[in-house]
């Protein structure tokens, strides 16, 4: 909640984009018998890894070059994996045909918490080779291509908070997710004594992610009971999104192996929610890349002005679920106001750093976001600000929660859905097909929530109404 990670003090250096495991190294490991499994994964609409576990020999013989098939319903189902109506690309009428999962060999990396295993992420294409436009990874690739056309690249760091429980996932299921036992019974924000209670698990996650090729910086406690955060060094935006997805999936797998559970829900209870603060900057195409924000103040101002101008209509891509909006609460370190400030954690957009490390932090998203569309929204908004020549308003001073004159973030998923639907900027940046696909995802989520009867309703109404 109040942690941070994105230190560009090393003259703007960024993490290498070289794969932690090369294809030749994988071949050697398979020949030596130390690797036998390749997890082939794509990222779905909810930001989850989906795919197959392949024998390493089959991956090397066939899949590394030609790809593998996966049903196109993987980008057209709800959280429960139910087939739902409204998606143009995937339906009973279209026969739920296959997509091609094309391995991105630059993403090959070990999975230290699973014996003899590596993971490889994929781009998603149709059998004719064309991109599946609604695929989260392809959306981000297209926004990054827009930057490349201008000689720029994007660097980003994501900070994911989570809550640890002593219950297993199966125990939590059978309890109906009630009366769970958080790993800490008081606020352990920055507490070394409190975080030591869960250090065996957190250390295992830190070291496992380092073993998977990620550059781990630190971990710290947070405010809610059992709430923690692990921070990683920033990297180019695509790598950051890839590692975000692998880390989130891996942390759950490691917790399950230890007989515990982790949740990345944006808002579990009435206390502080789980955030995903996104730090963002631009660099040029020199070798090595040089950070732009400190060097070109006008560019920085226009890019940040674009964030302010587009934030409400892009919120759907930062807060994609009904629960996401419960997190926006005054005095909770989650924003409610469209505003920017210098190192001001009450604002949606917080400007921090200096010199090569100058950047802004988008504080809107919760830990339930999908990093690919979220980063795409930031890029599209910034490019709009530059192309429209937007001027940056003065920084907000003081408490943004009390700034009643400022625009407010959408308060519900329905509000965010309507703003996204009306956004010409979103249509221009992403295309009508992508906008329609993500609007339908919001409609599916809203319909599911509308049909559910909650515990709150039962407690409130069972006897007294």
Q: CA nearest 264: which of 242, 249, 246, 282?
A: 249
Note the residue count of the chain.
465
Residues in contact with 235: Cβ distance below 8 Å, sequence separation at least 6, in sequence order: 14, 15, 17, 155, 156, 157, 215, 243
| Amino acid 297: pLDDT | 96
| Amino acid 3: pLDDT | 44
| Amino acid 19: pLDDT | 62
| Amino acid 11: pLDDT | 32
Residues in contact with 177: Cβ distance below 8 Å, sequence separation at least 6, in sequence order: none
| Amino acid 7: pLDDT | 43
Query: 201: which 2 tokens?
Result: 């698990």
| Amino acid 17: pLDDT | 44
pLDDT per 10-residue tile (average), the chain, 465 residues: 42 47 96 98 97 98 97 95 94 93 97 97 97 97 98 98 98 97 97 97 98 97 97 97 98 98 97 98 92 96 98 98 97 97 98 95 98 98 98 97 96 98 98 98 97 94 95
Assessment of whether the complete model's pTM goes beyond 0.85: yes
Q: Which residue has the tokens 């679920």?
A: 321
Do β-strands 340-342 and 349-352 pair in parallel, antiparallel, or remain unpaired?
A: parallel
């Amino acid at each position: 909640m109040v942690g941070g990670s994105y230190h560009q003090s090393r003259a703007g250096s960024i993490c290498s984009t070289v794969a932690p495991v090369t294809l030749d190294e994988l071949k050697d490991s398979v020949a030596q018998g130390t690797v036998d499994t390749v997890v082939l994964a794509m990222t779905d609409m909810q930001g989850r890894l989906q795919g197959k576990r392949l024998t390493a020999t089959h991956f090397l013989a066939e899949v590394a070059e030609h790809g593998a098939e996966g049903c196109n319903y993987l980008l057209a189902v709800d959280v429960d994996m139910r087939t739902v109506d409204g998606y143009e690309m995937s339906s009973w009428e279209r026969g739920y045909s296959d997509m091609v999962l094309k391995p991105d060999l630059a993403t090959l990396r070990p999975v230290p918490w699973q014996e003899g295993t590596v993971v490889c992420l994929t781009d998603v294409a149709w059998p004719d080779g064309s991109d599946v436009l609604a695929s989260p990874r392809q959306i981000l690739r297209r926004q990054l291509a827009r930057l490349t056309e201008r000689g720029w690249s994007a660097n980003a760091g994501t900070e994911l908070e989570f809550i640890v429980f002593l219950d297993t996932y199966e125990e939590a299921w059978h309890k109906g997710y009630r009366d769970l036992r958080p790993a800490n019974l008081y606020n352990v924000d920055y507490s070394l004594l409190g975080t030591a209670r869960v250090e065996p698990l957190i250390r295992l996650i830190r070291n496992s992610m380092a073993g998977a090729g990620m550059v781990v910086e630190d971990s710290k406690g947070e405010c809610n009971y059992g709430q923690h955060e692990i921070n990683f060094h920033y990297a180019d935006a695509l790598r950051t999104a890839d590692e975000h997805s692998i880390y989130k999936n891996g942390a759950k797998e490691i917790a399950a192996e230890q007989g515990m559970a982790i949740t990345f829900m944006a808002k579990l209870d009435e206390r502080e929610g789980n955030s995903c603060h996104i730090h963002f900057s631009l660099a040029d195409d020199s070798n090595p890349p040089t950070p732009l924000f400190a060097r070109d103040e006008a560019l920085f101002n226009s890019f940040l002005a674009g964030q302010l101008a587009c934030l409400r209509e892009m919120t759907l891509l930062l807060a994609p679920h009904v629960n996401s909006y419960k997190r926006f609460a005054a005095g909770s370190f989650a924003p409610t106001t469209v505003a920017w400030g210098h190192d001001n954690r009450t604002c949606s957009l917080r400007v921090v750093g200096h010199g090569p490390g100058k950047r802004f932090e988008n504080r809107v998203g919760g830990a339930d976001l999908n990093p690919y569309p979220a980063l795409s929204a930031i890029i599209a908004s910034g490019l709009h600000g530059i192309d429209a020549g937007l001027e940056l308003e003065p920084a907000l001073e003081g408490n943004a929660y009390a700034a009643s004159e400022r625009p407010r973030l959408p308060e519900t998923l329905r509000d965010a859905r309507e703003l996204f639907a009306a956004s010409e900027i979103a249509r221009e940046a992403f295309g009508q097909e992508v906008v329609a696909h993500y609007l339908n995802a919001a409609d599916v989520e809203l319909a599911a929530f509308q049909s559910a009867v909650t515990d709150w309703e039962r407690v409130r109404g069972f006897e007294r109404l």
